[in-house]
Amino acid sequence: MRWIWVIALVSACGKSDAPAPATGSGAASGSAPGSGSAVAAVGSGSAAGSGSGSGSAAAAPPLSPKIKAARCGEPCLFLVDTPLAKMTETFTSECAGMKTPDLGYSDCKQLDYVRNCIYAAHGVVFKKKRWKVFATKPWYEPHPEADPKTILGAAELANVHELNSRGKACKKGMTISGADYDRVKAWFADVAKAPMPKLIFKDTSFDLSETLEPMSAKDFRAWLAENEPKAKSRFKKDNLVTANYEGAEDELSKKLVATIKPADPKKIRIVRIDFDSGESGSEENPWTAGTVVKLVYDDKDQLVALEGARYGID
């Protein structure tokens, strides 16, 4: 017999291959990448750098006019002066009539490429063979004197920091932003002390779309401890944990958003964490088992709702 049940809580309350910048990694945005759905849309927060690197390296050469001319064909070049969260908006504005390309933020290798593209725009000469691909680009002009530790400005440092964090998360099966990955990992690291909402609900229906019954924070913590006692340590590579952004297509998610009553639903994003048990059925009777926790954030990166679920068979 197949079984599944859900609990929901509603709140009232990588690394560049060039040397790392010396200072100012910036505070990455928690916004979901891409346009997404109405609920998994980009939030209002953008990356904020803390300044360019320190040191007494030679002055950075000015960016070539070729860079701006090539940006619509090589979107990563926008990141020399555009916050990551504004990429799609800026591309649409400056590249009129062109379809916004897949920026590659769900592809681990592409994230590495995009990050190193920022350095390539300044003519940084790469040592690794894989990044010598930039030397084949018509816009690339090598500047051996360009010091990657000091060459980047505040916006670029913030973008590099976010892309690096997102790339690490991607390699672990997390296709969410690096900032959201850090938030989620920190939340699961100490659930006993994590802030809990006043309103807690449990859905007892089979199709996860019926009655939401009240549940205490104490009971929720006990439920999570019983079903995923090692949630903290499972955020490691190849440990059957994935994360992605999810829209509010199902009835329960719609109820969550309706309960939150946000001024703008587009500024709400749902992060779905799936702890797969690794169990599965046969070809004749396929099934999987595990635990799902959805964390819902607003555009100020505040956790405004949680939804938990067990799926599998008894």
* Half-sphere CA count of 216, side-chain side, radius 13 A: 3
Position 31 scores a pLDDT of: 39
Position 11 scores a pLDDT of: 39
Position 96 scores a pLDDT of: 82
Q: Is 81 or 37 the better-scoring residue by pLDDT? A: 81
CA distance 260 to 295: 13
Give me 37's structure tokens.
């759905």
Position 98 scores a pLDDT of: 76
- Report pLDDT digits (tens) over 263-311: 777 788 888 889 988 877 666 666 778 888 888 888 888 888 888 887 7
Q: How many CB atoms lie within 10 A of CB 209?
A: 14
- Report pLDDT digits (tens) over 222-269: 989 998 999 999 988 778 888 888 876 666 667 777 777 777 777 888
Give me 70's structure tokens.
């090539």
Average pLDDT of the residues of the chain: 73
**Exposure string for 102-119, b = 16+ CB within 10 A, e = fewer:** ebbbbebebbbbbbbbbb
Position 141 scores a pLDDT of: 93
How sure is the predictor about 120, in pLDDT bands with cuts at 50, 70 and 90? very high
For residue 12, is pLDDT > 80? no
What is this structure's pTM? Answer: 0.56
Give me 52's structure tokens.
């360019």
- Report pLDDT digits (tens) over 137-172: 999 999 999 888 888 988 899 899 888 888 877 777
Q: Which H or E run contains 252?
A: helix 251-260
Q: Is 150 or 206 the better-scoring residue by pLDDT? A: 150
Give me 168's structure tokens.
């690490």
Given a contact cutoff of 8 angstroms between Cβ atoms, the answer to whether 197 and 49 are in contact is no
The percent of residues in the chain predicted with pLDDT above 90, rounded, is 18
End-to-end CA distance of the chain: 6
Of 133, 85, 95, which Cα lies nearest the Cα of 113?
A: 133
How sure is the predictor about 198, in pLDDT bands with cuts at 50, 70 and 90? low
Given a contact cutoff of 8 angstroms between Cβ atoms, the answer to whether 256 and 295 are in contact is no
Position 20 scores a pLDDT of: 42
Q: How many CB atoms lie within 10 A of CB 20?
A: 15
- Backbone dihedral angles phi then psi of residue 151, each to the nearest 5 degrees: -75, -25
Q: Is 217 or 54 the better-scoring residue by pLDDT? A: 217
Position 17 scores a pLDDT of: 58
Position 211 scores a pLDDT of: 61
